[in-house]
Amino acid sequence: EAQVTQNPRYLITVTGKKLTVTCSQNMNHEYMSWYRQDPGLGLRQIYYSMNVEVTDKGDVPEGYKVSRKEKRNFPLILESPSPNQTSLYFCASSLRGESPLHFGNGTRLTVT
Partner 1 sequence: GENVEQHPSTLSVQEGDSAVIKCTYSDSASNYFPWYKQELGKRPQLIIDIRSNVGEKKDQRIAVTLNKTAKHFSLHITETQPEDSAVYFCAASIGAGGTSYGKLTFGQGTILTVHP
Per-residue contact flags (x/-) with partner 1 for residues 30 to 69, judged by CB under 8 A: -x-x-x----xxxxxx--x-x-----x-xx----------
Among 66, 89, 90, 93, the residue binding partner 1 under the rule CB under 8 A is 90
Cα 108 to Cα 85: distance, rounded to the nearest angstrom: 10
The helix/strand/coil state of 84 is helix
Q: Which among 2, 31, 9 has a CA at the least distance from the CA of 100?
A: 31
- Supply the minimum distance, in Å, between the C-beta of residue 97 and partner 1: 4
Q: Which among 42, 61, 47, 38 has a CA at the least distance from the CA of 92?
A: 47
Q: What are phi and psi of 95, to 5 degrees?
A: -55, -45
Taking the least distance from each CB to partner 1, the nearer of 40 and 62 is 40
**Interface with partner 1 (CB under 8 A):** 31, 33, 35, 40-45, 48, 50, 56, 58-59, 90, 97-101, 103-106
